[in-house]
Structure 1
């Protein structure tokens, strides 16, 4: 009797310039995605700055930029012999991985996580049109570009991005959960903001609100010293993770999300999972999460939104988070994956390039 043939794992390479020890939405998404895909029988390799010598990114020192050469990244991917390649970011590694795929006429997918043009404009006078032109060229070479919300899908489509597909997010419901017994020992009501303390997060829009009780900021970043000096009445708890972070959510009354540039905002789901209503602006991210879940109030007047969310009281996560799960996130990702084998169009382009090269003449030898 012949033995059953062994099932070879489906090899998936994900290239990301954002990875541990960074703490942000991209890293959390890719970490959860890897868990989900491995449970589905994929052999997942993350190529990240952790694999190379790196240098701190200007203005973002906790973000490391890989110091390597394109041929090294190309050789690494080829050695892994993947069936699928996904490029998660548009940084140095992402650019080199994209180049390697195009050189090999491999199909690949990408994802759009960050409104990098708006972040860059906060720091340098770079026109949005220039940065979006680079991103459009980057992502339009992919078979599919995954985007976090329908609002971002519509914005990018209007800017000429092609082959877009909406890719939802999830939340760890075991960690982030209602905990009525939590007492943060601060004056109530407690208005909480969680995230990177940086200019693009628009924290001053929160800290200048006229609200009763306590304004609480959880997170770290380059703007922290200045904001602590300017707003001594607010409580700055610093960076928190895991169970301790979940307690800060559960012990608060309203979650305020002042950012106007996030593409999704995983912290929104974390707050809702803890039963906390959300206040934010009616912009992509909050509009897609709160608009779908109904777990908060959106207004161009953030003070009005915060007081409106307070009046709602605690929300029911089971009722509000039905459409958000890491399983659904992995389902969409898996459906978008495309084997690296060249498409007919890619083969035709490759043949066309070869034919365009003139044959070498004896005089050239």
Structure 2
């Protein structure tokens, strides 16, 4: 990453903007140096032991054009995340790294079922991550900063523990207002062949207990995946969700430009303001979009869909929330008002009480106003 990569078309450094991050995987955001140290502690074999070369290996391995291949890199990160000490450290460092990038609210998602190979229980794993997040928040506050971070618990769609993880989420949901507490449930993993409908009991239980749900859908699989996430899972947000563009037909009209015709599913997602947790760089790596210029993000934004900007996996994509904003702004000529709207959309979709969302929105507005003031002073 170079300094100029963070600069917006108007010269503003994107890192100065307050950001809300709804889709960031804990096991996809480790520091390469931390992986090397943790691997040495547990004698875990790595493809590279130099942090810079390891970071390059993750990035190149993830640039596969396939979601399945992209996900295979997680065997390394998950492999070193099997102890209380490791989970606590990784969660703390994630908070510190996000705050350094200007993130003011984040939901870190991860799958506890994947972190039990060295004897941890599900509750012990969740406790460790909660403690690490709280430590990270304390670190930031001790330096005069501010950030809020919660956990989203994932069940793996190719596994058979979704009912158990849903029960864990419901049990831990009472802590959703505690720093690092659990704020919702997610279904992650390879989409094709593993529809949300196969985990209907887990989703029904979350609905009965009023626990909010987001689902990975509409990335590697198409409209059926999105429909199942909405109807079978009761998802309030869609993880990625960019294949909703498959339900939009564009028609050229001689005198009036291009006309967009939305199908029933696209109309529902738009009109119900179902938030799309879009991660542009990750979408390019998995082949969900052929290029940034051809990515449906701008089309969906212009048509009034609720689009949010996310990192997905900062390590695999060699990215940050600020870089994602800068790339979009430079590609589609977005100004500060556009970037602020993305944060407001994410804020409104956050799994927080409405009063907390309102306070977060005020913080976002104040932060953007502070960035705008130098421009106004020059006028």
TM-score (norm 1): 0.33
Q: Normalising by the residue count of structure 2, what TM-score does the alignment of the two structures yield? A: 0.32
Q: Please tell me whether Structure 1 or Structure 2 has the larger radius of gyration of its CA atoms.
A: 1
